[in-house]
């Protein structure tokens, strides 16, 4: 009886592990790229969702920070990042939100955010064909 119970628990655990590995939903990748001028101070940043705190990171010009996640089964995934740089340049913005009407990451499942001296730009490929400013400082 106990052996059957243990086998059932392990089977259920395997189902939840499969769901966590994006078998049932899409995987998305997010990259934040410091496209700041050479020889300038590092970009500081932190990213999070309601379930995950991805910690604080610093990026020198030309460096990037990337993370991946599985879309929630309920389609409610949302990741936000806060970036700050010199002279009070500071912005908090969503890098992925499953509620976006025109989902920019659908075509590639990868969101690229480029932080530049005048603001934050979006592209769905790297290198980008064209950059579009989304959040001015």
- Give the pLDDT band (50/70/90) at residue 108: low
Q: How many residues does the chain have?
A: 137
Average pLDDT over every residue of 13-32: 66
More confident residue, 13 or 38: 38
pLDDT given for residue 5 in this prediction: 37
DSSP assignment letter at 122: E
**Domains along the chain?**
25-136 (2.60.40.10)
Residues 40 and 88: their CA atoms lie apart, in Å, by 14
Average pLDDT over every residue of 46-63: 95
pLDDT given for residue 25 in this prediction: 81
Residues 118 and 98: their CA atoms lie apart, in Å, by 27
- Which residues, including other chains, have CB under 8 Å from residue 67's CB and lie 6 or more apart? 29, 30, 47, 54, 79
More confident residue, 17 or 56: 56
- Give the pLDDT band (50/70/90) at residue 11: very low
């Amino acid at each position: 009886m106990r052996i059957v119970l243990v086998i059932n628990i392990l089977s259920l655990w395997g189902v939840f592990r499969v769901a966590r590995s994006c078998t049932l939903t899409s995987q998305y990748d997010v990259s934040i790229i410091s496209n700041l001028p050479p020889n300038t101070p590092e970009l500081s940043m932190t990213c999070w969702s309601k379930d995950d705190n991805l910690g604080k990171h610093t990026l020198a010009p030309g460096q990037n920070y990337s993370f991946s996640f599985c879309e929630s089964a309920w389609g409610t995934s949302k990741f936000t990042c806060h970036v700050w740089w010199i002279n009070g340049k500071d912005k908090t913005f969503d890098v992925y939100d499953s509620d976006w009407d025109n989902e920019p990451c659908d075509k590639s499942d990868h969101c690229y955010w480029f932080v530049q001296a005048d603001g934050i730009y979006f592209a769905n490929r790297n290198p980008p064909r064209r950059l579009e400013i989304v959040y001015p400082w």
